[in-house]
Structure formats: structure tokens, C-alpha cells
Amino acid sequence: MSSNRKVIVITGASSGIGAALAHHLGKAGNPLILAARRGDELTQVACDASPAAVPIVTDVTDRAAVDHLRDEAMRAFGRVDVWINNAGRGIDKPVLELTDADFDEMMAINVKSALYGMQAIIPHFIQRGAGHLINISSFLARVPLATNRSAYNAAKAALNALTANVRVDLHEKHPAIHVSLVMPGVVATDFARNAVGDKGGQPTSPMPAQTTDEVALSIVELIANPRAEVYTNPASAPIVRKYYEDVGAFEESRRSRREQERPDE
């Protein structure tokens, strides 16, 4: 295997960002382990991505299943260089309408699945002395521009915190292990239509939607040049900075803008 090629695990690979990422990484010759719950779709993505792509049907909310995914990756290729926790699901309910089941599902799919992935693969990275963990979060974890995403935003904020903490924990003793957080903005996928309680709307955003290929190429570049955090849309970072400079003023400005955009009744 070429030293430039990396063994890469991608969860949530049957569609959206995960499928686009598999395509780009597979075409570059990287051996892939692709995981998702939907077997037929996952197999098709693997076939399209690369002859060296191995599909493994996995429910990432099940810790034993995630451990099995790691073990199958090791059995197939003998090592893992990059592990990408990409699986996730949205919701379309404001905070006051959330049920226990809604909140638990968002945390299980968007946070616990990534926690299981981190705990499964990082000991392998420590043993090897190198590796790259990438967690796919969301710009909405930083700025409440789509409050109907409520528990999804909260789950991604929790993922951000876990990612930062494990990065700090590892840095001193294991500097060759990279931990990265990727925060896409609005992406043109079926993600919204698959959200819990979807009402057919799209989150309003001050930035244009990106394609899955644009987001995937940002992650490909991140694998080549690891860093702590990446906003895939260049417009995101200035918006985040403006929000945290004065949260109250930012939110008041957004309220005023929505009122101006509201049609006359």
C-alpha cells in the first residue's frame, strides 16, 4: 500500500456528505471502511467509490456494533489511519415541543455514536502512535440561526465540547494523534427531509447552501493538512465571531430582520 494512502473509516456513508466523501477518497486510492444502517444504499456507495471500499452495515448508536466496525476495519486492512464520525440525524421541533424520546434520539445519533467511535479507535491510535479522528458537527452548534433544529443543535454543541476535550487530553502525550472538528453550514442534501418531525421547511441562513462535494473536498484537504477546527463555508467564521462579540445584539438584529421579511398579514 502506498505511504500516501490512508485506511479511512466513514460512518453515515450511505448518502449525503458521507457518500460524497467516500467518492473523493476512494477515487484517490484510499482503502475505505464505510458504515451505515441502510445496506443496499451503502453497498452501492462502496461499489461506486472504489474496489477497496468495504461496506459494513452498522447501527452506530450501538456500542458493540461500533466496536465490531473497528474490528472489521482492522481485519480488512490491519490498521486505521483516519476515523470520521459523520453519522447524524436532524430534528424539526422547537425546544418547547421536544419530547424525551426526541431529545434522547438526537443525543444517541449525534453524540453517543461519536463517543463510541472515539473510544473504539483512539486506543488503536495511541498504540500506533499516530492517527486522525474527525468529528462532523454543524455551524448551528455555534449560532442559533435555525432554532427549529433545537436538540440537534444542542447535540452538536455537546459533540464540539467532547471533541475539544479529547484533543486537549491527547495533545501533551500523543502529539501525532490529530483530532479535528468539521462544521458545515447549510448543505444541499436530503438531511432536512429525514429530520424527526420534518415540516418541509429549510433553515434560514445568511450564507448560500454548499454542495456535498464542496464539504467533502474541505474534509479531504483537512486529512492532508490536519487542524483543530474547520468551517466548510468561508462565511461561517465571521458570523460566529460577530455572534459571540455581542450575543444580545446579534439575536436582536436577527429578530428585526425576520420581522421585516415577514409578509404583511
Backbone angles phi, psi at 43, to 5 degrees: -60, -40
Cα–Cα distance for residue pair 4/29, rounded to 1 Å: 9
Q: Which helix (H) or strand (E) holds 75?
A: helix 63-77
The three cell numbers locating residue 148: 427549529
Sole residue written with cell 464542496: 214
Q: Where are the alpha helices (DSSP H) in 129-246?
A: 150-171, 212-224, 236-245
Beta-bridge partners for 36 = 57
Element (DSSP H or E) covering residue 226: none
Residue carrying C-alpha cell 490498521: 79
170 CB-near residues (< 8 Å, 6+ apart): 122, 126, 177, 179
What are the φ/ψ torsions at residue 103 (nearest 5 degrees)? -65, -45
Calculate the CA 193 to chain-centre distance.
17
Q: In the annotation, is 152 catalytic?
A: yes
The catalytic residues are: 152
